Chain A
Amino acid sequence: MSSENTEFEDGPPPDPFEAELVAYLDGEVDVVAARKVEARLANDPEARARADALKKSFDMLDYLPKPEPSPSFTTRTLDLVPAIKAATASGSAPVRPAVPRAAKPAPAPTPSTSMPVAILDEEPPRPPRRGRPLLRAAGVCVAVAVFAVVGYFATAAARPFLFHIRDKEHDEGKVEVDARVIEHLPLFAVADDISFVQELAEPKLFGDEPAVAYDTNLKIPHGDAADKSSGKHTEGLTKAFRMLPSARQAEIVKLDHDLYAKEPRERDRLFRALEVYALWLERLPDAERRGVLAAATPALRLGIIHSLREQQWMDALPPPLRQKVAALTNPKEKAELIQQWKDDEAVRRERLAFVRQHAEAFAANKSPWPFDTDAGRKEVIEFARATFRIDDNKHGRLSAEEHAEYKRTLAAAERDGTWVWYGLTVYELNRAHPYLPEPAEPKLMIAETTDLPPDAVARLVAKKVVMPARLRALGGRWPEFALEAQRELALTKINPMPQLGPARLTDFKEPVRACAKELFPKMTSDEKAALARLEGKWPEYPREFVKYAAKYDLPVPGVSLPGPPKKWDATYGARGTRPTN
């Protein structure tokens, strides 16, 4: 390359002092030259101002955002390598690998029609398409096709997706394709399988999108009542489907089958997630979209989607918050701060979802179940008083904050009729502090060191594992004290483990035994056997018992909130899918 004539290309020779000054600022002058510059700077205010401006203008470059490669960069780059191999091997003129945009083997150049156009093999001679074995091997849909948008987002926009073009010789032996599959092809084409779709519907990807999470009023036409599209539309999609490799076709049919095997509500949710994902994908910049589609496995694809979503989340933060993140140099602190914001966001979102769910009740100023009757209210208040020991200042089971919140929401409900908030509070407290069936025999209600069986105490003392302070702090609280003692004792590997609470049906109080009479006939014989094996083990036995009761929608008296557990979940669980504690 030409070299020494930069001076002439780039303009007149620089002012010699300026050149010295810049080199000096860059630490590129020897000691003698540095002295000279420093001497001039000391005596010449104008030179100082010049130096200052040179330095500061250069420092300003730090304000440029730090560009990062897109998450799919490596995958895409590696994808291109065999293409070069092929090109050099065949001795042909070297194919420009990362061709400038216009010539890129990319989606259809001008996907502007709203009608689906499947672009067939009569494309202009392409750069070696086979040079993308990763795509091919993964059976990821890659070809050039333009689809109309299906669904409630329906706009005139077309959706270019990458598809494998199926070899012509495989085009025989057509199978009948379900119209439903064809109808949803634009969605299925960008998904791998059912577990991929389920991952998409997780809150960390698209599950928290309004259309997925709570906007149940938006009906997605994906059922049998789907809008009938024009014949031409279907024809194009069918053609596109037939061009896919048969393995990929089978995958798509299976995905359809798996989706329709789900119960309607869940299917609806998954479809929504898939819609939102497809739309999101369509709006991604070309390079990033290709990165997602070209990932070698579903897991890698999900990884790429996740990091793109993370980046978008960060980019969407208000500038002051972004600056706050940028100001942190310690990556751990950075991650913690971000996590904290995300947690806050999740709480707000849950509350919002809850409000939406009860919007009608709020608007009508109606009290939700079970607060719609006096008896219902009394029963819940009584339940909370007993299980949380609300009135027991010394041995209450709630923290001071929780206690205050409980009192506040109850007072507000009694004063203003805001029972829905009270209900939510009680529901959440009950999840945070699960209770266990109390023993019929008072001496099995171990809540103080003196209640513990003597051998267990001796053991704890001998092993010095008793944290007297810790246990004492829980003193008087049941079942917390017993649970903690149990945990400590388990550490001593004591054998046999003393039973620290009611661990068989006969140990329970009468109302719980009555509940069991209702529960047992509903349980399978396997379940009954599994429960029986836990007899004598506390807290395992009562915990399992409560779990089975919840499974069969029976409230355990004194333990579960009064009323069917599933009704509580449906009314007060934000989405009914919240993780249990």
Chain B
Amino acid sequence: MSIGHTSSQMALRDPDIRLMLRVRDDDAAAFGELVERFQHRLVAVMHHLVGSADEAEDLAQEVFLRVYRTRKKYTPKAKFSTWLFTIANNLALNSLRDRKRRPVLPLEVRDSGPLGTRPTESLAPTRDNPPAHNLQQQELADIIRTALDGLNERQRMAIVLNKFEDMNYADIADVMGLSTKAVKSLLSRARSKLRDALQDYIYMDGEAPPGEDVCTETDSGDAGAEPI
């Protein structure tokens, strides 16, 4: 969300913006501080977006480098994180599109990247094979990951910003260069898809949450009928 000039004084009180201004003015230590301060959020968002730790770090690195390269053009207008994630959005979406355009040659030995097969993927139950609710945490995470990967890149970006950066629609709109109305439909479609993908794993009120061992039906049928 952009702020008017009346609030530019406020902006200068924002420590993130002040830090970025030091980076702009070639304060050598400031860039390191900036990387320290934002790496966790940035890597997390990238990771949720691309699904691979290595690639997430590469992308996050590239974002920081772009911040550095364009530091001279920085003007404190909006929240700094909005600016940062705007860069992140552009890089990430480009990278994801590139990936789609150039199907990957399995030259590199990578057993876990987003491009390789996920060993756990085969474990995830399919709709034809509805799961009991006794999924272990890791399995559940894999299922959710697959659901997230089922969204297109913009939907995924919007969801990730909304969920993990706690961004409101207006900020997401700023970051993604969309209108808030467009963000609303984007998120709506994304959420519907997520719901559909995770339908089988959603626990309803009164049921045990996923990730815990729950007696299967036969077990619970026997409960209390233990031989004395």
In the complex, the answer to whether A69 meets B184 with C-beta atoms within 8 Å is no
Residues of A within 8 A of B186 (CB): 6, 10
Residues of A within 8 A of B182 (CB): 3-4, 6-7
| CB of B1 to closest CB in A, whole Å | 13
In the complex, the answer to whether B184 meets A28 with C-beta atoms within 8 Å is yes
Q: Interface code B49-83, partner A: CB below 8 Å = 1, 0 otherwise?
A: 00001111111111011001100000000000000
In the complex, the answer to whether A69 meets B189 with C-beta atoms within 8 Å is no
Report how far A323 CA is from B212 CA in the complex, Å: 11
| CB of A27 to closest CB in B, whole Å | 8
**Is B7 positioned at the interface, with any CB of A under 8 Å from its CB?**
no
Report how far A149 CA is from B60 CA in the complex, Å: 34
Find residues 102-133 in chain B having any chain A CB closer than 8 Å to their own CB.
Answer: 107-108
Find residues 171-228 in chain B having any chain A CB closer than 8 Å to their own CB.
Answer: 177-179, 182, 184-189, 191-192, 194-195, 197-199, 201-205, 210-211
Report how far A287 CA is from B137 CA in the complex, Å: 26
Number of interface residues of B (CB under 8 A): 70
In the complex, the answer to whether A60 meets B202 with C-beta atoms within 8 Å is yes
| CB of A8 to closest CB in B, whole Å | 10
Report how far A74 CA is from B186 CA in the complex, Å: 34
In the complex, the answer to whether B32 meets A73 with C-beta atoms within 8 Å is no
**Is B154 positioned at the interface, with any CB of A under 8 Å from its CB?**
yes
**Is B6 positioned at the interface, with any CB of A under 8 Å from its CB?**
no
**Is B44 positioned at the interface, with any CB of A under 8 Å from its CB?**
yes
**Is B17 positioned at the interface, with any CB of A under 8 Å from its CB?**
no
Report how far A286 CA is from B169 CA in the complex, Å: 38
Q: Per a CB cutoff under 8 Å, which of B57, B90, B140, B189 touches A10?
A: B189
In the complex, the answer to whether A57 meets B191 with C-beta atoms within 8 Å is yes
Sorting the interface of chain A by its residue count into under 10, 10 to 19, 20 to 34 or 35 or more gives: 35 or more
In the complex, the answer to whether A70 meets B163 with C-beta atoms within 8 Å is no
Report how far A69 CA is from B35 CA in the complex, Å: 11
**Is B144 positioned at the interface, with any CB of A under 8 Å from its CB?**
yes
Residues of A within 8 A of B85 (CB): none
Residues of A within 8 A of B22 (CB): none
Report how far A58 CA is from B194 CA in the complex, Å: 7
| SS class, residues of chain B in contact with chain A | helix
Residues of B within 8 A of A60 (CB): 140, 144, 198, 201-202, 210
| CB of A111 to closest CB in B, whole Å | 10
**Is A97 positioned at the interface, with any CB of B under 8 Å from its CB?**
yes
Report how far A3 CA is from B163 CA in the complex, Å: 22
Report how far A94 CA is from B56 CA in the complex, Å: 21
| CB of A527 to closest CB in B, whole Å | 50
**Is B9 positioned at the interface, with any CB of A under 8 Å from its CB?**
no
In the complex, the answer to whether B108 meets A77 with C-beta atoms within 8 Å is no
Contact of A54 with B191 at beta-carbon distance under 8 Å, contacts A67-B44, A84-B65 already known: yes
Residues of A within 8 A of B145 (CB): 64
Report how far A563 CA is from B90 CA in the complex, Å: 75
In the complex, the answer to whether A18 meets B48 with C-beta atoms within 8 Å is no
**Is B168 positioned at the interface, with any CB of A under 8 Å from its CB?**
yes
Report how far A449 CA is from B107 CA in the complex, Å: 82
Report how far A534 CA is from B198 CA in the complex, Å: 76
Contact of A52 with B169 at beta-carbon distance under 8 Å, contacts A19-B184, A98-B61, A101-B54 already known: no
Report how far A10 CA is from B189 CA in the complex, Å: 8
Contact of A56 with B136 at beta-carbon distance under 8 Å, contacts A10-B152, A26-B187 already known: no
Find residues 1-54 in chain A having any chain B CB closer than 8 Å to their own CB.
Answer: 1, 3-4, 6-7, 9-11, 13-15, 18-19, 21-23, 26, 28, 52-54
**Is A313 positioned at the interface, with any CB of B under 8 Å from its CB?**
no
In the complex, the answer to whether B178 meets A4 with C-beta atoms within 8 Å is yes
Report how far A81 CA is from B202 CA in the complex, Å: 46
Residues of B within 8 A of A57 (CB): 147, 191, 194-195, 197-199, 202
* CB-based nearest B residue for A70: B57
| CB of A315 to closest CB in B, whole Å | 11
Report how far A58 CA is from B148 CA in the complex, Å: 10
Residues of A within 8 A of B202 (CB): 53, 56-57, 60
Q: Per a CB cutoff under 8 Å, which of B60, B141, B197 touches A69?
A: B60
In the complex, the answer to whether A6 meets B185 with C-beta atoms within 8 Å is yes
Residues of B within 8 A of A462 (CB): none
Q: Which residues of B contact A (CB under 8 A)?
A: 31-32, 35-36, 39-40, 43-44, 47-48, 53-62, 64-65, 68-69, 90, 95, 107-108, 136-138, 140-141, 144-145, 147-148, 152, 154-155, 159, 162-164, 168-169, 177-179, 182, 184-189, 191-192, 194-195, 197-199, 201-205, 210-211
Instruction: Name 27 A/B residue pairs within 8 A (Cβ), A-sorted.
Output: A3-B177, A3-B182, A6-B178, A7-B185, A10-B155, A18-B192, A22-B192, A28-B168, A28-B169, A53-B202, A54-B195, A56-B204, A61-B163, A63-B144, A64-B141, A64-B144, A67-B48, A67-B56, A69-B57, A97-B62, A98-B59, A98-B65, A101-B55, A101-B58, A102-B108, A287-B54, A319-B137
In the complex, given contacts A3-B182, A287-B57, what are 12 additional A-B residue pairs having Cβ atoms less than 8 angstroms apart?
A14-B189, A14-B192, A53-B199, A53-B202, A61-B164, A67-B48, A69-B39, A73-B35, A81-B31, A81-B65, A98-B59, A102-B108
